[in-house]
Amino acid sequence: MSTAQKAHFGFTKLLVEDLDKTAAFYKSVCGLEETARVDAKIGGRDISEILFAPTADSAATFVLLKFLDAPKPTNDEVILGFQTGDIDAFVERALAAGGAVVDPVWNNAEHGVKVAFVTDCEGHLIEVVQMI
């Protein structure tokens, strides 16, 4: 495959209902840093976005997006994945910020990780892993 044909995964956009509430969740739970807010159009539809800085070299950008003319989006089309050095503290922060536990922390020795599934304040599923 030529260099021109290769693509680099650069960002994920999560559709949300309440930009500020959801941004506050990801800032407090994951330590994400907001870098920009954008008002634009997609296919003639007004949108607002909040962009967050990548969390590591070569990491993708995380973006929250609100279609201004749409009701609450579905929250079961994507599972976000976060890695952390302290999974128990991550789960506690998620609960404190309005999230919920779907599956509590468990050891998945076969894959060398501890795993938990939580939701954000709007019900989007997050898989959290800690290397063991």
**How many domains, the chain?**
1
Assess if residue 2 is contained within a domain: no
Residue ranges making up the domain that contains 57: 9-131
80-92, pLDDT tens digit by residue? 999 999 999 999 9
- Smallest CA-to-CA distance from 101 within 76, 77, 132, 123 is with 123
pLDDT of residue 72: 84
Question: For residues 100 and 119, what is the distance between their CA atoms, to the nearest angstrom?
Answer: 5
CA distances from 13 to 2, 57, 120 (A): 27, 19, 15
CA distances from 70 to 5, 7, 113, 130 (A): 34, 30, 38, 36
Question: For residues 42 and 124, what is the distance between their CA atoms, to the nearest angstrom?
Answer: 22
Query: Which residues, at least 6 apart from 123, have a Cβ–Cβ distance to it below 8 Å?
Result: 75, 100
CATH number, domain of 55, equals: 3.10.180.10
Q: How many CB atoms lie within 10 A of CB 114?
A: 19
What are the phi and psi torsion angles at 117 (to 5°)? -120, 125
Assess if residue 98 is contained within a domain: yes
Six-digit token pair at 69? 């003319």
Assess if residue 65 is contained within a domain: yes
Ordered mean pLDDT values, 10 residues apiece, the chain (132 residues): 75 95 98 97 97 93 95 88 96 98 96 96 96 94
Assess if residue 43 is contained within a domain: yes
Assess if residue 91 is contained within a domain: yes
